[in-house]
């Protein structure tokens, strides 16, 4: 079966890692016609618009997107195009797994397998912020939590746990201080939990959660939380399993899904053939599962895992003493797949 999907290469390390992902997908035998469109900095330079209408139209047509990282200017300039795309297509779930692959040195001996479900549209990412006067004597950001927005992410997380035979869901919040917004999110989780009585359910306050995840990640399984906490805890979770180079993510809505790495454009290593493409390759694995290409998804994940386990042909972040480049690592995954079939 052939598929037509949208591809946004992104900027920074985007083109290098996206090239790795599309090569691996091709070699796994999946027939994809990529509708390539540009967004963010590259689109701004070329078309004077960081989110040209061609991007929206392409996603509207194809419904599934593979996206490289997009740089967002810090404290000034245009608003995040990542956030804009999530809002435009109501991608309310940000599913971010953190799983150990053998061969990666981490602080932990045993296998970690966590999934964070981050609410992706509300709270401090709603973009309602301003200075109260022209001398910037104060600034205000309004975080909005809605019943509808909370219900759908929490239900999605419970349904996922149930469908995939996972064991436990932890809701993370700061309802002791953010009594209204955090309180509402927690209330809704507690209202829904009894409908899933077979699933172990608990809650944690976010600061304690950060400490607990570092001290003993094995006590957690799936985690559902609000937008900002999910953003931070998912980077923390990636640190438990080998860093951002190993962390994939999926932005999911009712009709569109967009797959990307958890990490950003990594300007410090861009253009040097250093970046680890595993995160975007694992995001591609999630994408292939989403479009029903389960065999190819398995094949790619197995090959990636095997190359990492051997440890001889990996990127610098995985083995700083003995490493190869992004492209050569990708070659190794492709050779491994050929050996498997
Ligand atoms: P970052 O995730 O780009 O980089 C953080 C650190 O991790 C850097 O030292 C980088 O070299 C390293 N790193 C990231 N990905 C890696 C990979 N695949 N292989 C090896 N090392 C890797 O975060 P940073 O520097 O805070 O943000 C840079 C830009 O990316 C900002 O403009 C930010 O807004 C944007 N960003 C975009 C995201 C997206 O497109 N979804 C997500 C996060 C940040
Ligand atoms: Mg982030």
Ligand nearest to the CA of 265: 1
- Last-in-domain residue among 240, 267, 282: 240
Q: What are the strands, taking DSSP E only, across 207-286?
A: 222-225, 248-252, 257-261
- pTM, two decimals, is 0.96
Q: Report phi then psi at 286, rounded to 5.
A: -60, -40
Q: Which residues contact 198 (CB under 8 A, 6 or more apart)?
A: 162
- Last-in-domain residue among 223, 240, 257: 240
Domain membership flag for residue 24? yes
CA–CA distance, 58 with 83 (Å, rounded to integer): 17
Q: Range of 118's domain?
A: 107-240
What sign does the dihedral 25-27-29-31 (CA atoms) show? Answer: positive
- Last-in-domain residue among 240, 255, 272: 240
Q: Is 71 in the pocket of ligand 1 (CB under 6 A)?
A: yes
Beta pairing, strands 248-252 & 93-99 = antiparallel
Q: What is the reported pLDDT for 282? A: 98
The catalytic site residues sit at: 125, 174, 207, 231
Q: What is the reported pLDDT for 77? A: 84
Q: What is the reported pLDDT for 140? A: 95
Cα within 13 Å of Cα(245), Cβ side: 23
DSSP state letter for 123 = B
Q: What is the reported pLDDT for 341? A: 64
Q: Is 266 in the pocket of ligand 1 (CB under 6 A)?
A: yes
Q: Is 265 in the pocket of ligand 1 (CB under 6 A)?
A: yes
Residues forming a β-bridge with 172:
204, 225
Q: Is 118 in the pocket of ligand 1 (CB under 6 A)?
A: no
Which secondary-structure segment (H or E) carries 2?
strand 2-8
Ligand nearest to the CA of 9: 1
Q: What is the reported pLDDT for 256? A: 98
Residues 265 and 197 in one domain: no
Ligand 1 atom nearest residue 261's Cα:
41
Domain membership flag for residue 308? yes
Residues 200 and 270 in one domain: no
Domain membership flag for residue 289? yes
Residues 17 and 136 in one domain: no
Helical packing angle, 181-192 and 147-163, nearest 10°: 40
- Give the domain CATH number at 26: 3.40.718.10
Domain membership flag for residue 102? no
Ligand 1 atom nearest residue 263's Cα:
2
Q: What is the reported pLDDT for 126? A: 83
Q: 261, 248 in Cβ contact below 8 A?
A: yes
Q: Is 149 in the pocket of ligand 1 (CB under 6 A)?
A: no
Residues 113 and 220 in one domain: yes
Number of domains in the chain: 2
CA–CA distance, 259 with 6 (Å, rounded to integer): 10
Burial of residue 56, with CB atoms counted within 10 A of its CB: 0-12 exposed, 13-18 middle, 19 or more buried: middle
Q: From the first residue on, what is the mean pLDDT of each consecutive set of 10 residues in the chain (341 residues)?
A: 95 98 98 97 93 97 98 88 95 98 92 97 91 97 96 98 97 97 98 98 98 97 98 97 96 98 96 98 98 98 97 93 96 95 64
Ligand nearest to the CA of 237: 2
């Amino acid at each position: 079966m052939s598929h037509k999907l949208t591809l946004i290469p992104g900027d920074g390390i985007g083109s290098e890692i996206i090239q790795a992902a599309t090569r691996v997908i091709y070699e796994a035998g999946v027939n994809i016609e990529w509708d390539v469109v540009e967004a963010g900095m590259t689109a701004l330079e070329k078309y004077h618009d960081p989110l040209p209408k061609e991007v929206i139209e392409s996603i509207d047509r194809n419904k599934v997107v593979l996206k490289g990282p997009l740089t967002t200017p810090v404290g000034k300039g245009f608003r995040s195009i990542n956030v804009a795309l999530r809002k435009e297509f109501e991608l309310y779930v940000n599913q971010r797994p953190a799983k150990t692959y053998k061969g990666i040195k981490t602080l932990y001996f045993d296998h970690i397998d966590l999934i964070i479900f981050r609410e992706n549209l509300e709270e401090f990412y709603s973009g309602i912020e301003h200075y109260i006067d022209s001398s910037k004597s104060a600034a205000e950001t309004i975080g909005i939590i809605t019943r509808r927005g909370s219900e759908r992410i929490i239900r999605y997380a419970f349904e996922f746990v149930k469908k995939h035979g996972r064991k436990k869901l932890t809701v993370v919040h700061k309802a002791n201080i953010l009594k209204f917004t955090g309180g509402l999110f927690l209330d809704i989780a507690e209202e829904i939990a009894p409908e899933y009585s077979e699933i172990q359910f608990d809650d944690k306050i976010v600061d304690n959660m950060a400490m607990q995840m570092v001290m003993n990640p094995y006590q957690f399984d799936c985690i559902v939380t609000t937008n900002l906490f999910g953003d931070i805890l998912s980077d923390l979770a990636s640190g438990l399993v080998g860093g951002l180079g190993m962390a994939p993510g999926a932005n999911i809505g009712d009709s569109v899904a967009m797959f990307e790495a958890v990490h950003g454009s990594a300007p410090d290593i861009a253009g040097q053939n250093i970046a680890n493409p595993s995160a975007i390759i694992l995001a591609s694995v999630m994408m292939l599962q989403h479009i029903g290409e389960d065999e190819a998804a398995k094949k790619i994940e197995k090959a990636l895992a095997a190359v990492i386990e051997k440890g001889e042909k990996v990127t610098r972040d995985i083995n700083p003493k003995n490493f190869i480049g992004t492209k050569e690592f990708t070659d190794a995954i492709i050779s491994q797949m050929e050996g498997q079939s």
